[in-house]
Amino acid sequence: SLYRSKMSQSRIIITGYSNPDLDGTACAIAYAELLKKQGKNAKVALFGTLHKEAEFVFKTFNIDKPDQAENILNQEDKLILVDASDLRGISNLIDPKQVIELIDHRKVNQADKFPNAKIQIELVGSCATLIAEKFLKEKITITTSSAALLYSAIISNTVNFQANVTTDRDKKTCKWLVSKFDLPEGYIQKMFKAKSIFKKPLKEVFENDFATFTFHSKQLGIAQLEIVNTDDFVNKNKDEIQKILTEIKEERNLDLIFLSVIDLEKIKNTFIVIDESSKKLLEQALGVKFKNNIAHKNGITMRKTIVPMVKELLISNMHNYAKETVVNKS
């Protein structure tokens, strides 16, 4: 039994994608807190660099940054992935077999690649909602810092409930969380503004939040920015944006690529493409019209919503193409 108690206390590291966004960061910190309060040997550690928005929340509420996972991870550790369910995007130091649990909210995922993981994937606006619900369900008190982080993550991910991914669960959970800490005056506007200031070269900004998908034989890459004043940003940087997309497309050997810029105040998407096939694909999938490689769409459509729509279209196009080829041959 001594052996078993030692085994059961093997360390559990809670982490997510490399360079995690606010949602991933908040979920990892809060879930580690919950597990510790349940007596588990749990620790939060994150790979890469944090997004600016997470930095803003840390600074506002005086929260310490978690350890760098690169420095502490070893083969004996068990892993829990939050706000992540894809091999692409997680650190290559992670062995999928080490993952014992996976909590995420993406429709398109690779949960089946983690053979030992207990899987929870539910389509809510923010993974933070799923973590906060665990505190409620288990009747575990939450610290003000975890409450502030989870609240900020839900507001960010749902763009203050304007995004099409928002559910009643997100709204209800947010209401509960915000009663657990003091919300500073004008906080949401300040948080959105904080992530609109780029201190790094644009290419690095794109690459920090870039997602790649493979559907059939097609490789698709999507960059997403969430800022205020997208029109100014796009007008000022159009040439550079197209140059960066062209470089990334070549470097990563992609068939299709586009940038989606979300305007957090005007509540709309702006899409930028560099090639005809990506343009056609988005026009078909989203019903938008491009002019000089730029298209706008009112309302907010997040990348995680665009991906399933594009996937369906690509697959049906492939089927139709295959059928036509057969017909032409015969």
* Integer Cα distance of 26 and 72 in angstroms: 20
* Integer Cα distance of 42 and 199 in angstroms: 34
Taking residue 22's Cβ as centre, other Cβ atoms within 10 Å add up to: 29
Quote the pLDDT of residue 8. Answer: 52
Closest of 163, 222, 166 to residue 192, by C-alpha: 163
Which residues does 270 contact at the CB level (< 8 Å), separation at least 6? 230, 231, 234, 260, 261, 263, 294, 295, 296
Instruction: Identify residue 75 by its one-letter amino acid code.
Output: Q
Quote the pLDDT of residue 325. Answer: 47
The radius of gyration computed from the CA coordinates of the chain, to the nearest angstrom, equals 21
* Integer Cα distance of 153 and 174 in angstroms: 10
Residue ranges in the chain modelled with pLDDT below 50: 1-7, 325-327, 329-330
For residue 26, give both structure tokens.
Answer: 């908040």
pTM of the full predicted structure? 0.82
DSSP string, 303-317: HHHHHHHHHHHHHHH
Q: What are phi and psi of 124, to 5 degrees?
A: -110, 175
Pairing of the two strands 256-263 and 268-273: antiparallel
Over residues 165-177, the pLDDT tens digits come to 899 999 999 999 9
